[in-house]
Amino acid sequence: GTWSPSLAILSLWIAMKVYPEKFKDVNFIEYSNSFYQKIFGVSYTKVVANE
């Protein structure tokens, strides 16, 4: 397979599921939107809505 910047978001999601107490202050959607906007120029919610 190939590496994608999207794996960073997947890693965060997994970490939030495995260690919810350590990531309780992280807003996944907000963080993901910011990340996707910076990296891909589109919001995460728009990408997810198109799947």
Instruction: Please count the structural domains in the chain.
Output: 1
Q: What is the mean pLDDT of residues 19-37?
A: 96
**Residue 46: both structure tokens together:** 């728009």
Domain of residue 29, residue span: 20-51
More confident residue, 45 or 50: 45
Q: What is the mean pLDDT of residues 30-38?
A: 94
Report pLDDT for 51.
64
Would 5 be classed as within a structural domain? no
More confident residue, 36 or 49: 36
Report pLDDT for 1.
63
| Nearest C-alpha neighbor of 30 from the set 14, 41, 45 | 45
CA atoms within 13 A on the CB side of 42: 9
Would 2 be classed as within a structural domain? no
Report pLDDT for 29.
94
Q: What is the mean pLDDT of residues 4-24?
A: 94
